[in-house]
Amino acid sequence: MERFIDVPGGRLFVVDEGDGPPVVLLHAGIVDLRAWDSLVPHLVAGGCRAVRYDARAWGRSTTEDVAYSNRADLVAVLDTLGIDRAALVGNSRGGQIAFDTAVEFPDRVVAVVGVAAGLGGFEGHPTPEEIALLEEMERLEETGTDVEAITAVNVRAWVDGPGQPAGRAPAWIADHVRATSRHLSAPGHVFGRPIVLDPPAAARLPELRCPVLAVAGALDLSDVPETARHLAAHAPDGRAVVLPDVAHLIAMERPAELASLVLEFLDPLRPWG
């Protein structure tokens, strides 16, 4: 089922498939909800209800230039779909939103799977080469004039992985990232003003009441596996898995393997909803 959900100052495009305990998928900042397309059939076959949506300003979702909470948007999706509690699976920026929501709305979250996830307030230790790559990315995004350069650096950092050969990952993944980068870089694109969680989640990990699985790729920026290990060490019920030969977009590169990890992790928590 596809539908739009109205939220204050915006509209979210949502896809809802399958029956069973609900799992909400939160995409990374360099892709949209289609990044989960290869994972969803595995979750549905595993007896889950898979809900994914485009964050404000991404994909088919829109926003006005207003202050808004990504956590409140997620709760609005749950409320509209009649979901009391859900497991959250978040990639990168989506992972940060998942952890923030688990802290702010603990009664709505049964578990969090962070997939190359960010963690608000946590600073890792990237290598000098990675710092140079991130600075190049920041410079290009600040100017916003060379869209093709922005897409190229996003593919280099997040699809192939820093220091990896060009074209290491399947071409269709790079194509999706390029299309999303061009969409987000379009003149006049409105992002709104996200309200950050304060204090950030990194300072509030003891407040997490749900189990946490942090999955990272060994070919990603080095602070991503570092974040996963930090979550495993400091969340009350956390564990980490670092997969070899994969970078940032694990659900696109290795959907069956990721689905197996997610379903195995969530199975003891059934039923919820």
Domain spans in the chain, listed from the N-terminal domain onward: 2-123+190-269, 128-184
pLDDT tens, residue by residue, 25-49: 999 999 999 999 999 999 999 999 9
Averaged pLDDT for residues 156-160: 95
Which pLDDT score, from 0 to 100, does residue 262 have?
98
CB neighbour class for 37 (10 Å; exposed up to 12, middle 13-18, buried from 19): middle
Helix extents (H) in the chain: 40-45, 70-80, 93-104, 128-143, 147-154, 171-184, 223-234, 250-253, 255-266
Written as six digits, the tokens of 26 are 């939160």
Averaged pLDDT for residues 218-226: 97
Averaged pLDDT for residues 219-245: 97
Per DSSP, the three-state class of 246 is coil
pLDDT tens, residue by residue, 171-212: 999 999 999 999 998 889 999 999 999 999 999 999 999 999
CATH, range 2-123+190-269: 3.40.50.1820
